[in-house]
A and B are shown apart, each in its own frame.
Chain A
Amino acid sequence: MSTMREILVDSAARLFGDLCTNEVHARAEKGARQSELWEQLDASGLPQATVSEARGGAGADPGDALAVIREMGAACLPAPLAETMLAELLLAAAGLPPRSGPLTVGPVLKGEKLSLARRGKEWEISGTLHRVPWARHAHALVVVTQVDGEWATAVVERPAITEPGMNYANEPRDNVQFKALRLPQDAVAVGGGCLTAARLIALGALFRSVAMAGAMKSVFNMTLRYAQEREQFGRTIGKFQSIQHQIAILASQLSAASAAADTVIAAAANGEASFEIAAAKTRIGEAAGIAAGIAHQVHAAMGFTYEHPLHRSTRRLWSWRDEFGSEAEWSAWIGGVVAQLGAKGLWPFLTSAQKTIPA
């Protein structure tokens, strides 16, 4: 890690630690708007981490933004930080001006589509999006959709929520509906570098993968500490070999997730990293399930209470491993690529720096 990134990560971790008080978590779990939390985040400049210098930002490299997201995952920060960064990636690719957050993106579900059409000088958008992250708090929702066979990006101000929802961690996942909603001319860009819906889902998978690696680190730390403190049968439970081996497995899964996160962060800083994103979401998602299971078993009844903070991390792991494609979906995608490569093509593909996905 570069020294600059280390400084950024340290300061982000400290800020998130300060911001994530029990009160903040309690309010977040009820789905309440947290203007103060966002103002403090905004003041730190972190939500603008993906805004390039040319677009008036600090010009952080994508690896730096992802390193911050890892800390967000570790802290269980209840705010649309990843979504705001993703929205900027869509806006920048489309050549639309940057926006102040909080922002969110859609569609986040595979196969969901919107219809967008010209109406004179304006645009009209229709359709329903499900499980849009943090939509109820977003100042704007940035969507991707097709217009006459070309990909387009559109900005919808203060999207109307038809049905509020949440993931297992009570993070807002809201349904949004547009009924022939008029958008001004400058809220839409068509063609050019506009990202596709598939690319948005891949980027979402990238951000969730890295966030999971962060959350797993916290799960591991809590579990190790608990095993060293909790006494039964006259000694700490960490002295029992069965517990030691469970924690060793947890450490190994965390290691695999960390390695996958580090590798995908490096790959994403240098290219599309489609394969690496798929492999990371698959591997980290699997590790997340194993890690959460072991953590709860070691914490036993204590970790099953609402009072103990373990569930903040484990409920996020269970949510994030499903969002933007589960291990099942991404491994099937990799399987399709591998079938095209064949046995002979697999290793040359894995060892090439820029991996060209076969058609």
Chain B
Amino acid sequence: MSTPSFSFAPIELPESASRLRTEVREFLAAEQKAGNFTPGAAGWSRVDPEFSRHLGARGWLGMTWPKKYGGHERTALERYVVIEELLVAGAPMRGHWAADRQLGPLLLEFGSEEQRQRYLPEIAAGRCLVAIGLSEPDSGSDLAAIRTKATKVDGGWRVEGRKIWTSLAHRAQVTSLFVRTEPKGENRHAGVSRFLVDMSSPGITVRPIINMTGEHDFNEVIFDDLFVPDDMVVGAVGGAWSQMGKDLAYERSAPDRWLACHDLLLQTIDRVGPKPDIAQSEALGRLVAHLWTLQNMSLSIAGMLEAGANPNVEASIVKDLGTRYDQEIPQIARTLVPEHMRGDPAHQRFEESLRHNLLFAPAVTIRGGTTEILRNTIARALGLR
């Protein structure tokens, strides 16, 4: 890993990207007018397969992929602008999120021609919901500790094991599954493979795990004698660890990392109104200064990715700063709008947002790499580990 430069060069967006911003805003206004989506407390973090198909039809999924796989051959900066606009508007993005951001790029880089032709056009059309099967009961941050194992059989693999915290497994067509194809040896990272699992296969049980907000988002997924054919292994058998490169930078630096509680920021601005007192001005002004900084950092990383760099550490920094900013929003909203100012039905939207985001906020510094793991990554890049 290269020593981080801490340099986040400002990006001047090309004209095409600025035009796209306007196009996305017009599209969203039309979708909202047509009743196809309503901004809500959960922001972008909602599933709406119909909306995902609309995005696919507009050419805003698989944007950077080759046309022969249903992609649109746009630049990484153009894609950045589109997803940023959609996330900020609180459009329902979860239905295609993992597919468009993680599985698609993974298949483009490591998948077989057959896998690409089978999945990429479906993802780009917004018709393929993907779950990512990583964590297990004894394997959270320590991913190499997974026990779900695959045994070689004629024509494929037999899978036994258990995944937990698998978001949307109950709605997914495909799960991108991390499995041990060789027992753990001295090199803990060896012998792990990536399988594509058709969720309609026999041998899969999905059990809901209700989260503390009362919602069903993640699941326990049990594999009991599941058969996965050879042609559903991504890349080399045993090579899954080395496939995790740039996708971490994409995952950790994207604007979703500082837009989890954006709806509450907006609701608080509206609730406080045009004549804020000094405490309200200071608190909201500070949050917006953070938002401005984070946006420029994410945009800068999009520029690095476009230029072919691998800004893994910079991305960890953005996720650490972004998720902690997100977590501050409900804590600040509750002090700016104290309890005696609540309970008025006219401001129900603010209160829904405060409730949802306050309860949801603990998740943002856990999912996709905990704060502690991110700081280990940063420290390692600095030569301290």
Contact = CB atoms under 8 A, between A and B. Distances in A.
A262 B295 contact: no
Contacts of B274: 339-340, 342
Interface stretch (A10-18, A244-252, A314-322): A244-252
Contacts, number: 161
B236 interface: no
Contact of B275 (A280, A331, A337, A339): A339
**Size band of the A side of the interface?**
35 or more
Interface string A337-359: 11110110011101100000000
Contact of B382 (A224, A276, A337): A224
B375 A244 contact: yes
B7 A245 contact: no
Interface residues of B, number: 52
Q: Is the interface of B mostly helix, strand, loop or mixed?
A: helix
A1 B10 CA distance: 9
| Chain A, interface SS category | helix
A260 B296 contact: yes
Contacts of B273: 339
A303 to B, nearest CB: 18
A125 to B, nearest CB: 34
A32 to B, nearest CB: 35
B10 A335 contact: no
Nearest to A328: B282
B382 to A, nearest CB: 6
B379 A248 contact: yes
A134 interface: no
Given A256-B293, A331-B281, A332-B278, A339 B378 contact: no
B384 A217 contact: no
Contact of A336 (B276, B291, B378, B385): B276
Contact of B296 (A259, A337, A339, A342): A259
A245 B267 contact: no
A266 interface: yes
A338 B288 contact: yes
Contacts of A266: 10, 12
17 contacts: A227-B384, A244-B376, A248-B375, A248-B379, A255-B6, A256-B297, A262-B8, A263-B292, A279-B292, A279-B293, A327-B286, A331-B281, A334-B284, A335-B283, A343-B269, A347-B88, A350-B295
Interface of A: 1, 217, 220, 224, 227-228, 238-239, 241, 243-245, 247-249, 251-252, 254-256, 258-260, 262-263, 265-266, 275-276, 278-280, 282-283, 286, 327-328, 330-340, 342-343, 346-348, 350-351
Interface of B: 4, 6-10, 12, 21, 25, 88, 266-267, 269-270, 272-276, 278, 280-286, 288-297, 300, 314, 317, 320-321, 372, 374-376, 378-379, 382-385
Given A248-B376, A248-B378, A252-B317, 12 more contacts: A224-B384, A245-B375, A248-B379, A254-B6, A259-B300, A262-B9, A263-B292, A266-B12, A282-B285, A331-B283, A335-B276, A343-B266
